[in-house]
Structure 1
């Protein structure tokens, strides 16, 4: 990595984890450009249950790394809001444990698992949740959630701030726990106008940072 990188004019890093690897290898930050893969602005009209407040999240995050917190927060928010549906999609790593915890929390009837390689499952949500305890690569579902115009609730971490501006297109929770997350969900559920406003900002954010045209311009700017 170090030999080939020193010979390069510019290096594109698709996420902060890769960028950090280059920096640890002694590569100058002047050569590095953090450019996420392009993401088309999505216009898919998905079937939504108009009576349910639908929460979507990526199943790639395991129970112990944040998904368990999400499920407990949904249970608590459901006690206040009533009809909540939880959709867990993408690469579902802990299906057995998810189904067991859903049964323990009384969420079995509210849970929908959507194993998928794509991201169409995001379209049916009202809000996208991403919680991660510890470091790790950011999933592409986060950028797709923006492209679908979904408000995002996530824990406050440096790399999460690249996708969420607090109270502009979502919520960043400091020292996140299930109580804080459930309260954020309740606030969203009670304020549909605010939810819609944040969603519009997410779509605009995606168009400015992750659209193919925006990514192309960033790459062209690096060409000497």
Structure 2
């Protein structure tokens, strides 16, 4: 529940979307991180639940519970490495809305399995939410495309062979490497080249 994940923008986008489609509801899953100064507090999260259509659910009993209840996954983060939440959503066949930033762009293909929206743009996010809310066929199609991409890129069957290939190359390169002695402040240590 960090500010950098775009929660304020998501809440604003959902409020704008509800003006057009009142049945839209936002569930916020997660708990505050008291050790992180950018985390929302319990009081702040409780305050968000006073907004129509917003519910803070707290800690999820398990990730399947979250995704089985979800029609659209939204991550309007300022920046991401490789967003686990979006990969999970794709694995569950959920269409996604995310900010057009590195990391999110690695998972969400705009117009294929979700929508990429500009950073800090609740109006664009609301438009994407309404578009998916009004079109179950597109939502289902994008969800299938998300699952297909997950299977091809992020599933165990896709990832494990790639990891094994990397380890194999590293072992082969180490066996073919020569030792070079370079002086260091703490003495001379062998360095692989």
> For this structure pair, what is the TM-score category when the shorter chain's length is used for normalisation?
0.7 to 0.9
Residue 219 in structure 1 maps to residue 159 in structure 2: no
Question: Where do 1:90-129 residues align within 5 Å?
Answer: 90-93=30-33, 94=40, 95-103=42-50, 105-107=51-53, 110-116=54-60, 118-120=62-64, 121-129=66-74
Number of equivalent positions: 160
Which residue in the other structure is 1:47 paired with?
none
Moved over 6 A (4+): none
TM-score where L is the length of structure 1: 0.65
Any idea what SS the aligned residue of 1:132 has?
A: coil
Which residue in the other structure is 2:20 paired with?
80
Residue 61 in structure 1 maps to residue 61 in structure 2: no
Is the CA contact 1:90–1:118 (under 8 Å) kept in the aligned structure 2?
A: no
Cα separation, 1, equivalents of 2:120 and 2:138: 21
Is the CA contact 2:80–2:101 (under 8 Å) kept in the aligned structure 1?
A: no
Cα separation, 1, equivalents of 2:80 and 2:105: 14
Is the CA contact 1:71–1:102 (under 8 Å) kept in the aligned structure 2?
A: no
Question: Where do 1:41-190 residues align within 5 Å?
Answer: 60-62=1-3, 65-93=5-33, 94=40, 95-103=42-50, 105-107=51-53, 110-116=54-60, 118-120=62-64, 121-133=66-78, 135-190=79-134
Residue 204 in structure 1 maps to residue 148 in structure 2: yes
Distance change in 2, residues 1:100/1:112 (3 Å): closer
Cα separation, 1, equivalents of 2:55 and 2:119: 26
- Unpaired runs of 5+ residues, structure 2, are 34-39, 170-193
TM-score where L is the length of structure 2: 0.75
* Residue 112 of structure 1, CA deviation: 4.3
- Unpaired runs of 5+ residues, structure 1, are 1-59
